[in-house]
Amino acid sequence: MNGSATDQESPMHNKVCLVTGASSGIGRATAKALAAKGAEVFVLVRNRAKGEALLQELSRETGNNRLHLLVGDLSSQQDIRRVAAEFLATGKPLQVLVNNAGLINTRLRRTPDGIEEMFAVNHLGYFLLTQLLRPRLVESAPARIVSVSSGAHAFIKRLQLDDLAFERSGYRAFPAYGHSKLCNLLWNRELSRQLQGSGVTANCLHPGAVGTGLGTQNAAWARFVTALLRPFFRTPERGASSSIHLATAPEVEGVSGKYYYDCRPIRPKPWAEDDAAAKELWTLSEKMTGLGERNLL
């Protein structure tokens, strides 16, 4: 970074951060804030051209040249493994991982791995990438894992691990999306338990209703509704406030296993605090990603 003395004195100046889904919306706002605070930032996006343009924009807007591009599709476990290997090959530490990438589908779609796409991206993408980077996070401690969940976990009151594609009950977008966000909270609960004493914390957050492209990938009506409601949405910058807070604030050092909204801890729904369900989800996630106990620290 060509930063000022103030930048170099920032607590984030010697930190390395990785932000997924950084090409727009909350992810872009988060990456920009981290870069502005002097951190070295890796951004993970699906489209190389957009990613290269993003790096130029962020460098121009923040004066930070310590920005790096990773390109991969979090619906593909092969891509996730490749991206993780690329980062690990840099030999750099990792003090902050922000799991931000996500999507809402309006119809049932499956990944190349045959998994319902929202569960694959919104949950398994977080799980697999974090597990692959977990040893580096532990080596780099103190470190933080920040994952974007949602108040949409209230849409569904139990794990539905025996029907992940919602085929028996009839596929509906919001219950399926809410299920993936419930999985974020349960996974984070078990992850934070496993990380106790490691110097690595794991927290989730609800960003609020933000006017991003999250729900506009696959249907004209979704794009229309999003455009209609956009004046009532939060800005990406406000939506990213809890992500930035959890990634950088000194006062949350050592805080783990929590759920935040507007930079404050709140209680999720009771079914998001079910330890038995969290363990069941963890076991299934290991099986679906081909990970086992040998991969854990």
User: What local confidence, expressed as pLDDT, does residue 5 receive?
Assistant: 34
pLDDT of residue 255: 98
Into which CATH architecture does domain 5-288 fall? 3-Layer(aba) Sandwich (3.40)
Q: In this predicted model, what pLDDT tens digit does every residue of 173-182 receive, in sequence order?
A: 889 999 999 9
Say whether pLDDT at 227 is over 60: no
* Torsion, Cα of 268, 12, 40, 201 (10° steps): -30
Domain spans in the chain, listed from the N-terminal domain onward: 5-288
Mean pLDDT, the chain, rounded, equals 89
Q: Which of 123, 122, 116, 128 is nearest to 77 (CA)?
A: 128
What pLDDT is recorded for position 234? 66
pLDDT higher than threshold 80 for residue 47:
yes
Note if the pTM is more than 0.85.
Answer: yes
Spatial CB neighbours of 107, under 8 Å, sequence gap ≥ 6: 171, 173, 218, 219
- Residues forming a β-bridge with 259: 204, 266
pLDDT of residue 233: 57
Distance (Å) of CA 42 to CA 146, 265, 292, 295: 15, 27, 27, 23
pLDDT per position as a tens digit, 12-39: 999 999 999 999 999 999 999 999 999 9
Tell me the average pLDDT across 90-96.
99
Each residue of 239-272: pLDDT tens digit? 899 999 999 999 999 999 999 999 999 999 999 9
Structure token digits, residue 40: 């070295």
26-35, 80-89, 99-108, 202-211 — which is least confidently predicted? Answer: 202-211
pLDDT classification of 210: cutoffs 50, 70, 90? low
Catalytic positions: 177
Beta strands 259-261; 264-266: pairing state: antiparallel
